[in-house]
Structure 1
Amino acid sequence: MPDTVVITRPLAQAQAFAQRVRQAGLAAEIFPLLEIHPLADQSALQAALDEVTRYALVAFVSPSAIDIACQLRAGWPAQVVLGVMGEGSRAALARHGITDANAHIVSPRDAERSDSETLMRELDLPALRGRRALIVRGTAGREWLADALRAAGMEVDQIAAYERRAPSLDAERRAQLLRLAALDAAWVITSSEGLHNLLALAQELGGAAIVAQLQRKSLFVPHPRIAQTAQNLGFHSVRSTSSGDEALLAALQSRG
């Protein structure tokens, strides 16, 4: 029987990766540790995107931010730089027909660390100084990128497109988590927030015993910050991979 991979991304992102995992000969289970809820009122983001040429840079903090923005605007002027954090966001742009062939996309070249800090190193900051940036994000998150862009001489607008919520444990999810806790599986974790949610759900489900079961699972994470969070939370087997689904799949297939 093939090994099982537990995919914890938000549902919309998890389904595509689960298909790739199954095509690679592994079993896949989806157990989202974050829920993405688009805000009911998108008028502020719509207004900004309607006049997107006011911005020299539009930065998306996640694939979810890209999906929502691309539902509100179909085309992107070539002179507006699109900043994204990693391969998952580049893939999200590509799903909406936005590639290097028709847009100016900037993303980290360091596959081992795709984040705001490495994005800043790739931007042409002298050319952006004195101009305006738009950050499309969730209702909560790090302020590092906005602060860094302002320090580099840009004016920055931040607009929330969605909110992240911790999932609840209904009867179906309780049964699934109980089964997964007892299963020898590899867990793909793509968010530090999701890890905290996992342990909170485990504590609600069965207290310290279930928490301890999960802490013994093999985790595959695409960023050193998530790996550090996992270690701080008591997980014993944490493997860092490069950014992107290809790197995650290669690591999962080679696990021993």
Structure 2
Amino acid sequence: MAQSPSTVLLTRPLAESQQLQQLLAVEGINAVCQPLFEIVPGHQLPQVADMVASADIIIAVSKHAVQQAGSVFDQHWPERPTYIAVGPATQAQWQQQSVNQVVVPNRHDSEGLLELPQLQQVAGLRVVILRGQAGRELLAQQLTQRHAQVSYCECYQRRVITLNSSQLVPYWQQQNVNCLVVTSAEQLTQLIELCRGDHESWLYSSRLLTVSKRIAALASNAGFNKISVSDGASNAALKATLMQVLNKAKSS
């Protein structure tokens, strides 16, 4: 009997998942969208315009931070600061808002940001980190040690979507989902919680694609043993890595 085509589970926020689903459909790859979080405005969003106006360097750690912040002051970002994005997707979001000079590290994580020449001599400079409700503590810690004046601005929050696992997980299994795309530690934690108990063996036997070695290590410690790390967090990078992973699995 011929094996049913593999189906990929996409756990990013809805718009991003749908975009990736469309990219995969062009390649004949089945995908199911199931966001685990929704993006909502953060508690500090009303303060972002004042914080950005007085900053020397602005670092955005996700495109959601740029989307939310830009909506507050009608996308009129000041010209004076140096703009730094954690990766190409965040850079592209800024460019959509007419911020064209955006620095991006070769490595799309806190360590990569800290290696940038623009963040070496920062003593006395005011650095604002646009983020969600938590994260990037290493970045702030290291910049503070370099004597920068560092402030966080919580531009958005990830709010958990309530899901019925007793119905949802069997549906995924019926759709032959055996590859999971998880792009944050929060998504990984929520997915594990959703499958706790009866569905754990299915979860940990599935292939997992993620976007950083840190998340891959968390997944390995949790029990996953088929883990791949994408070259980036953009949907284009995820698609390219997924195609490699699925083609390799098909031929093995």
Report the TM range for the smaller structure's normalisation. 0.7 to 0.9
Distance across 2 between alignment mates of 1:2 and 1:181: 12
Q: How does 1:238-253 map to 2 (within 5 A)?
A: 238-243=227-232, 244-253=234-243
Partner residue of 1:223?
Answer: 212
Does 2:114 align with 1:120? yes
Structure 1 Cα separation of the partners of residues 17 and 119 of structure 2: 34
Cα 1:142–1:119 change in 2 (3 A) is closer
C-alpha change, 1:225 and 1:25, in structure 2 (3 Å) is: same
In the alignment, the residues of structure 2 paired with residue 97 and residue 211 of structure 1 have an alpha-carbon distance, to the nearest angstrom, of: 46
Map of 1:57-72 to 2, 5 A cutoff? 57-72=57-72
Provide the residue aligned with 1:86 in structure 2: 87
Q: Residues 39-69 of structure 1, C-alpha deviation per residue, up to 9 Å, x if partnerless?
A: 36632123324xx2x2111111212111101
Change (3 A) 1:230 1:68: same
Q: Percent identity?
A: 30
Change over 3 Å in CA distance of 1:70–1:38 after alignment to 2 = same
**Cα distance, 1:97 vs structure 2:** 4.2
Matched residues in 2 for 1:241 and 1:40: separation?
31
1:33–1:195 contact (8 Å) kept in structure 2: no
Residue aligned with 1:124, SS: helix
State the match for 2:56 in structure 1.
56
Change (3 A) 1:90 1:185: farther
Q: Count how many residue pairs are aligned between Structure 1 and Structure 2.
A: 240
- Is contact 1:106–1:123 with CA below 8 Å preserved after alignment? no
Are 2:175 and 1:175 aligned? no
Match 2:103 to one of 106, 115, 140 = 106
**1:24 aligns with one of 23, 27, 30:** 27
RMSD, matched Cα: 2.1
- CA distance in structure 1 between the aligned counterparts of 2:55 and 2:117, rounded to whole angstroms: 14
Partner of 1:141: 135
> Are 2:185 and 1:195 aligned?
no
Q: Contact 1:37–1:164 (CA<8 Å) still a contact in 2?
A: yes
C-alpha distance in 2 between matches for 1:12 and 1:246: 14
- Structure 2 distance, partners of 1:58, 1:245, is 24
Q: Is the contact between residue 11 and residue 181 of structure 2 (CA under 8 Å) also seen in structure 1? A: yes
Which whole-Å CA distance do the structure 2 matches of 1:149 and 1:83 have between them?
14
User: 2:235 and 2:146 mapped to 1: Cα distance?
Assistant: 32
Show structure 1 runs of 5+ residues with no match.
none
Normalized against structure 1, the TM-score is what? 0.84
Moved more, 126-135 or 233-242: 126-135
Instruction: Supply the distance in 2 between the matched residues of 1:186 and 1:95 (Cα, whole angstroms).
Output: 32
What are the superposed Cα offsets for residues 8-32 of structure 1, whole Å, 9 maximum, x if unpaired?
1122322222222222321221111
Query: How much has 1:106 moved relative to structure 2?
Result: 1.7
Secondary structure, counterpart of 2:35 in structure 1: coil
